Structure formats: C-alpha cells, structure tokens
Amino acid sequence: MPDAIQTTTGRVCRTTALQTRKTLLNSVATELKWTPYRDITIADIARRARTSNATFYQYFPDLDAAVLGLAEDLAHNGFASPVRTTGGLSREAVAELVDAFFRFYGGNRAVLRAVEAKAAEGDERFAELRRTIYGALNTALVRTLTSAHPRAADRNARAATAASLTLLLTSAAAQQPRHADWFAEPDAVRAAVVDLLHTAITCDPAASLSAA
C-alpha cells in the first residue's frame, strides 16, 4: 500500500476521503461475495455505499482499480503463519498451519477469487499481488522445511517443495465449498491435506527430487 493514497485527480486523501474510499472498497468486497466479477457495475457499488458514480470515479478509474485496492490491502495485512522457525514438524503443528490458511482463504474468498481470475487472464498487476499474498505461506513452508532438514544443502529442492505445497494448499482452500464434487467430506479432505504436507515436510526434499 502506498504511503500517501491519492484520488484519481492526484489529491492526497485525508481522513474523510480515506473513510469514503474505505466505504467504497467495503462495498466492492460485498458485491464480490454475491455477484460475478463481470456482472458488477459501478452503479451497484455506489448504491451500496450510498454515494454516486461520480464519487466512485474520484477514487478509482474503474472496477479493476478498486479490486486492486482490496488486493493491496490484503497483501499488506497478509497471512499470519502460526509456524515459527522451530516446532513446526509435528502433525499437530502442520494441522494448525493448514487450518490457519483455510481460515485466511475462507475469510477473503471473494477478493482472492477475483485476483485469481484476473491473474489467469494475464494481468500482471494481479499476478504480482497474488504472489505477494501467498508469499507468507510459501515462506513459512520454506522455513519449516529448513528446520526439518537443517543439514540439507539443496536450497533449490526446498524451494521447489515449498512451491508445490503452496500450490496444493491454495488449490485445496479454493475448492473448500466444492469438495462434494468428488464425493469427499471437507473434514476428510482437510485431514488428507495435513497428512500430505506432514509427509512432504518430514521427508528429505532433495532425496525426493533425486528419486523423481
């Protein structure tokens, strides 16, 4: 998030303007929960915020810019991993990490879904924010792998394993409401994800890659 937030005309936002901007962003976030991204209109957002289209355009040139604002806030506040430099090797600690990330994703699902969609379309602004948002999870996994294998010299192997586990966790979290599509109970999927992560973390990543 920039140090000084500006309007579309270059005016620095002060207290009242920042509150108006926040209200607009909250309205965008609410609309994302109930309306497909492509179907949201500026009029919908302004109506929910009890303001006008003109006011919206004072703060954002378009809907993408407003969603970028939400994503930037999310990237700034980020995912707080419960895993520290040590003590992250037990299955219970891994389960805590999975649950924490599932809660984070579930609480921000609407915004993350929009970020994923725009990143998939090739919008590098959203792709960069996606990398930043999930960066804390990836860093926590690298840290945990390092703690599990302090003598392992292959940093590339650890990085590759952490990246793979990040993809696994983000995909599982994104599909939480739809696990029934594969006739799987959410609790069973969650337990399987914990087991997969715990196995991957406690195995030597370099040895696993060599075997592959």
Predicted pLDDT at 187: 85
In order along the chain (212 residues), what is the average pLDDT of each group of 10 residues?
67 84 95 92 95 95 95 89 66 90 93 93 94 91 82 78 92 76 77 92 63 51
Rounded Cα gap, residues 97 and 124, in angstroms: 28
Judge whether 21 and 5 are in contact, CB under 8 Å: yes
Nearest to 202, CA basis, from 153, 152, 154, 145: 145
Judge whether 137 and 83 are in contact, CB under 8 Å: no
Predicted pLDDT at 8: 79
Q: Which tokens go with 76?
A: 């700034």
Predicted pLDDT at 40: 94
Rounded Cα gap, residues 165 and 123, in angstroms: 24
Predicted pLDDT at 1: 44
Predicted pLDDT at 89: 72
Rounded Cα gap, residues 27 and 110, in angstroms: 12
Predicted pLDDT at 145: 84
Close Cβ partners of 63 (under 8 Å, ≥ 6 residues apart): 28, 37, 40, 42, 45
Beta carbons within 10 angstroms of residue 158's beta carbon: 23
Q: What is the pTM of this model?
A: 0.84
Predicted pLDDT at 177: 66
